[in-house]
A and B are shown apart, each in its own frame.
Chain A
Amino acid sequence: MSQASLEIVRISGHPGPVPGAGVERAEQVCKLIDTTTCIGCKACEVACLEWNGYTFTDTVFNNSYQTMPQTAWNYWNLIKFNEHEREDGTLMLLMRKDQCMHCADPGCLAACPADGAIVQYSNGIVDFQQQNCIGCGYCVSGCPFDIPKFNSETKKMFKCTLCADRVTEGLEPACIKSCPTGCLHFGTKDDMKDLAENRALQLREHFGFEKAGVYDPQGVGGTGVIYVLHDATNPEAYGDLPKDPHIPLVVRLWKGPVKWLGNLAMAGGLLGVVMHYMRFGPKRVDSEKNGDKDGKGGRP
């Protein structure tokens, strides 16, 4: 969205190095979501829609508190409800605010073929630049959290921007501003990690959640959105939060060795036919033997 005052450190589909990357260092921003104090009020969803100028979409009733199955191109932030049965038979109603995780090593950006359609700012925010997006959907395959969504009318991909436009101006993201319980926090990654670890410690020592911990998956280099979970050993219980997310191996190979082997093979093929022509030349119809008197090599 707003990139006027944000330094870009990574550009999708960009040949060569990123201009100016590494010239400035910025604090990594981070959103902390404490699932243990979320009440599922959906104020963050409303704030997100309001700030980004979208209207409500139809909800789907599926015998749970879940309003719709997943985020949409115009619905970037969704509370995932999950009734979780614990080992002792008691129930927990888990609520997790689902949105783009703003990976330090973003799979969407790695998969994207369009120059500048996905960028990562020096503050860590991963942002789609719709004016450069070609709508191919490669980011859908690259994302380990199933976040990028396609607008079939404009043929562009959309996702949470971490309110890059607000953050640039020194404001917190809209969702943070709206949270009534204070389960959402925003600040530097270091501060948020600190806060999260303290909260997890509190949960372990004073609330009996012995497996409480912080979700900051290192498989994608850490994320710009981190969770405090009652049970950090079972993130899947919080609506398909992957335990150990990685950029898919297929995407890594496709954008790495396969690409260079393929380029080599194609260049080799071109070189091969040129070499063949130089060494053996064209096949000519033997004009003497076959009576091709005009010598046009068999052309009628």
Chain B
Amino acid sequence: MSASQAIPVSHAQNKSGDRILRYTFSERIHHWIAGLSYLYCLVTGLAFWSPYLYWMAALAGSGPTARFWHPWVGLVFTISTLWMYKLWRRDMATTEADIAWKKAMRHYIRNEDEKLPAVGRFNYGQKLFFWLMFYGAIVLVLSGIGLWFVESIPWSLRWLRYLAVTVHVGTALVTIGAFIIHVYMGTAMVRGSFAAMVRGYVSSAWARTHHRLWYEQVTKATSSEK
């Protein structure tokens, strides 16, 4: 299965001059709903995490306000993540190109991109992040429900209360680590990807450098249409 199979041909037709449509409007909207709702849960969650970060609750209004909205915004995050799953699950499947790329990942980290094998629409790192956040969202929402309605868990099943706390905290920490790397790469490290996620387009050069197999596929699709 090709990595960029899910991109409909019509998107590639949007290629005009040096611009290639990388993310559709729907993909961008869902990404930002997920991103901003995650950010809200991160800030309010950190407020509940440590007394030294409790001031962060003030960013959300107040402690009680943060506590009231955290689970609801968490639900928004989960739903938008499930929606992204619907949009991207085929693109996010691991391919043979990814396995080769994964072996050469140290070159990617060291910006030695010329030593990397060509990849499709997403590279292995992006796929790893996607699946981590997807399963993370499911685990966070399930354990979060336990924390949300902790009093409804009967005393005889109190191990569920303790499990909910442990799982929620552990999963949140793992996603925070991934989130730090994701934000860093999307803004500071891989120039052009933030703009792509806002307006949708990348340059041909960007596509050729970072996602050559995808670039070849979308340009071929366009030229074959002609």
Within the complex, the shortest CB–CB distance from B200 to chain A, in Å, comes to 9
Residue numbers in B under 8 Å from A14 (CB-CB) = 51
A266 to B42, CA, bound (A): 12
- Contact size class for A? 35 or more
- The answer to whether B67 touches A115, judged by C-beta atoms less than 8 angstroms apart, is no
Is B126 an interface residue when CB atoms closer than 8 A count as contact? Answer: no
By beta carbon, the residue of chain B nearest A263 is B50
By beta carbon, the residue of chain A nearest B162 is A250
Residue numbers in B under 8 Å from A284 (CB-CB) = 191
Within the complex, the shortest CB–CB distance from B215 to chain A, in Å, comes to 10
A300 to B20, CA, bound (A): 9
**Residue among B162, B199, B209 making CB contact with A248, cutoff 8 Å:** B162
By beta carbon, the residue of chain B nearest A260 is B50
Chain A 98-139 per-residue mask, 1 if CB under 8 angstroms from chain B, else 0? 000000000000000111000000000000000011111110
By beta carbon, the residue of chain B nearest A240 is B155
Residue numbers in A under 8 Å from B195 (CB-CB) = 299-300
- The answer to whether B49 touches A113, judged by C-beta atoms less than 8 angstroms apart, is yes
Is A208 an interface residue when CB atoms closer than 8 A count as contact? Answer: no
Is B177 an interface residue when CB atoms closer than 8 A count as contact? Answer: yes
Is A170 an interface residue when CB atoms closer than 8 A count as contact? Answer: no
**Residue among B54, B68, B155, B191 making CB contact with A298, cutoff 8 Å:** B191
Is B203 an interface residue when CB atoms closer than 8 A count as contact? Answer: yes
Residue numbers in B under 8 Å from A285 (CB-CB) = 191-192, 203, 205-206, 209-210
Q: Which of A268-282 contact B (CB under 8 A)?
A: 269-270, 272-273, 276-277, 280-282
Q: From DSSP, what is the main secondary structure of chain B's interface residues?
A: helix
A266 to B174, CA, bound (A): 9
Within the complex, the shortest CB–CB distance from A118 to chain B, in Å, comes to 12
Residue numbers in A under 8 Å from B67 (CB-CB) = 134-136, 155
Within the complex, the shortest CB–CB distance from A84 to chain B, in Å, comes to 19
A254 to B48, CA, bound (A): 12
Is A26 an interface residue when CB atoms closer than 8 A count as contact? Answer: no
- The answer to whether A141 touches B189, judged by C-beta atoms less than 8 angstroms apart, is no
Residue numbers in B under 8 Å from A132 (CB-CB) = 63
- The answer to whether B202 touches A141, judged by C-beta atoms less than 8 angstroms apart, is no
**Residue among A15, A146, A266 making CB contact with B54, cutoff 8 Å:** A15
A250 to B206, CA, bound (A): 48
**Residue among A70, A136, A258, A265 making CB contact with B177, cutoff 8 Å:** A265
- The answer to whether B192 touches A298, judged by C-beta atoms less than 8 angstroms apart, is yes
Is A150 an interface residue when CB atoms closer than 8 A count as contact? Answer: yes
Is A179 an interface residue when CB atoms closer than 8 A count as contact? Answer: no
Stretch from A40-48, A75-83, A194-202, A289-297 that touches the partner = A289-297
By beta carbon, the residue of chain A nearest B22 is A300
- The answer to whether B63 touches A114, judged by C-beta atoms less than 8 angstroms apart, is yes
A70 to B154, CA, bound (A): 11
Residue numbers in B under 8 Å from A297 (CB-CB) = 191-192
A219 to B4, CA, bound (A): 60
By beta carbon, the residue of chain B nearest A250 is B162
Within the complex, the shortest CB–CB distance from A105 to chain B, in Å, comes to 18
- The answer to whether B191 touches A136, judged by C-beta atoms less than 8 angstroms apart, is no
- The answer to whether B51 touches A251, judged by C-beta atoms less than 8 angstroms apart, is no
Within the complex, the shortest CB–CB distance from A13 to chain B, in Å, comes to 5
Is B208 an interface residue when CB atoms closer than 8 A count as contact? Answer: yes
Within the complex, the shortest CB–CB distance from B96 to chain A, in Å, comes to 23
Within the complex, the shortest CB–CB distance from A147 to chain B, in Å, comes to 11
Chain B 13-54 per-residue mask, 1 if CB under 8 angstroms from chain A, else 0? 000001100000000000000000000000000011111101
Q: For the complex of A and B, list the 4 residue pairs with the smallest distance between their C-beta atoms, beginning with the closest.
A: A298-B206, A290-B205, A134-B63, A273-B184
29 A-B pairs with CB atoms under 8 Å apart are A15-B51, A70-B155, A132-B63, A134-B57, A134-B67, A137-B150, A140-B161, A141-B158, A146-B158, A155-B67, A248-B162, A250-B166, A259-B49, A259-B50, A262-B49, A262-B169, A265-B173, A266-B180, A270-B180, A272-B180, A273-B181, A282-B188, A285-B210, A292-B203, A292-B205, A297-B191, A297-B192, A298-B192, A300-B199
Which residues from chain A sit less than 8 Å from chain B, CB to CB?
13-15, 70, 113-115, 132-138, 140-141, 146, 149-150, 155, 240, 248, 250-251, 254, 258-259, 262-263, 265-266, 269-270, 272-273, 276-277, 280-287, 290-292, 296-300
Which residues from chain B sit less than 8 Å from chain A, CB to CB?
18-19, 47-52, 54, 57, 62-64, 66-68, 109-111, 113, 147, 150-151, 155, 158, 161-162, 165-166, 169, 173, 176-177, 180-181, 184, 188-192, 195-196, 199, 201-206, 208-210
